[in-house]
């Protein structure tokens, strides 16, 4: 028994001498503060809904203006994401993760702007690669692996994916048909965010996904009719973007970081950007990229 007690005391002494006390870190303090009550992502703060509507409106206006205007708006959205995404998901090094996301947003914007007209996705994979390499280097400073390496990389990578997905819609910007198609998808996202508020009713809760899909479909049909697209295109696009965006908020909103203002804004912005690659894929199938 004595050797065992000696070993136990030795480990405790070593931890004390090294000054390692995870309970005293700012991250642990924040997790403890927000983690006292369970997080219900069916009742997200109103800031999230406002951020969704504002981001969707800004992108819908910018996509009709020009390629450069749209890229600039996505870059600004990337800055907001860089500020709040690490706070939302409790990144082990929030400042470093934010810097990486800003660098990635800038690289994605430059990649879209320097590409030939109509080929704004040519350098997008390279820009994503730059962001990924920056994320890896940030997690391995001087060859030393940071604690919570997987967490840090996953958080940064999802942020990069969100900005890249929003930037992926840039080929549809500028042209009347492409911009209108993006507008239909964003209208579905906005409608879903409003219908999502029904989840605050206790009897609805997670069943809010059904009114979200219905609202996305109805608004999609209306937006498609105004823009000259078929009813089936409006139903499919509106329902898909509304439900996907809602799923993003349900998944990433069920964390303690949703108590941070920056996290709330980032969640709203990210849930609008992430469906972008779906809109691009359906626009390509519709022949809008030809």
Please state, rounded to an integer, the average pLDDT across all residues of the chain: 86
Q: What is the torsional sign of CA 59, 219, 238, 254? A: positive
- The 10s digit of each residue's pLDDT in 215-270 is 999 999 999 999 999 999 999 999 999 999 999 999 999 998 999 999 999 999 99
pTM for this model (two decimals)? 0.85
Nearest to 214 by CA among 186, 244, 235, 184: 235
The stretch 279-290 carries a mean pLDDT of 87
Q: Per residue in 37-66, pLDDT tens?
A: 568 888 999 999 999 999 999 999 999 988
Number of helices and strands in the chain (H, E): 12, 0
Structure token pair of residue 89: 């998901």
* Predicted pLDDT at 38: 61
The pLDDT assigned to 128 comes to: 93
Taking only the tens place, the pLDDT of each residue in 130-168 is 999 999 888 887 767 778 888 899 999 999 999 999 999
Q: What does the alpha-carbon distance between residue 189 and residue 83 come to, in Å, rounded to a whole number?
A: 23
pLDDT digits (tens, 9 = 90+) for 180-190: 999 999 999 99
Exposure of 33 by Cβ count < 10 A (0-12 exposed, 13-18 middle, 19+ buried)?
Answer: exposed
- CA dist 169 and 121 (Å) reads 9
Q: Provide the 10 A C-beta neighbour count for residue 116.
A: 8
Please determine, for residue 17, whether its predicted confidence score (pLDDT) is greater than 80.
no
- d(Cα 43, Cα 250) in Å, to the nearest integer? 9
pLDDT at 106: 94
Q: What is the mean pLDDT of residues 69-80?
A: 95
With a pLDDT cut of 70, the percent of the chain lying above it is 86
pLDDT at 217: 97
Given this model, what pLDDT does residue 40 score? 84
């Amino acid at each position: 028994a004595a050797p065992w007690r000696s070993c136990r005391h030795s480990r405790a002494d070593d931890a004390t001498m090294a000054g390692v006390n995870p309970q005293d870190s700012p991250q642990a303090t924040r997790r403890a503060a927000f983690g006292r009550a369970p997080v219900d992502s069916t009742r997200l703060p109103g800031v999230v809904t406002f951020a969704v509507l504002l981001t969707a409106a800004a992108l819908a206006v910018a996509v009709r203006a020009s390629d450069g205007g749209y890229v600039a708006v996505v870059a600004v959205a990337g800055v907001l994401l860089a500020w709040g995404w690490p706070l939302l998901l409790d990144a082990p090094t929030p400042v470093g993760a934010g810097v990486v996301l800003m660098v990635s947003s800038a690289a994605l914007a430059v990649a879209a702007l320097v590409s030939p007209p109509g080929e704004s996705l040519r350098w997008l994979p390279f820009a994503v690669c730059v962001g990924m390499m920056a994320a890896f280097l940030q997690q391995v400073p001087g060859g030393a692996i940071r604690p919570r390496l997987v967490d840090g990389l996953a958080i940064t990578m999802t942020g990069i994916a969100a900005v890249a997905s929003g930037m992926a819609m840039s080929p549809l910007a500028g042209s009347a048909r492409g911009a209108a198609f993006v507008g239909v998808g964003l209208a579905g996202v906005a409608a879903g965010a409003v219908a999502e508020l029904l989840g605050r009713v206790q009897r609805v809760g997670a069943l809010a996904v059904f009114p979200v899909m219905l609202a996305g479909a109805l608004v999609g049909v209306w937006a498609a009719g105004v823009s000259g697209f078929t009813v089936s295109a409006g139903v499919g696009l509106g329902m898909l973007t509304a439900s996907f965006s809602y799923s993003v908020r349900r998944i990433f909103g069920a964390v303690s970081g949703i108590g941070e203002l920056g996290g709330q804004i980032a969640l709203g912005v990210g849930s609008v950007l992430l469906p972008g690659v779906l809109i691009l894929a359906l626009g390509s199938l519709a022949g809008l990229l030809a």
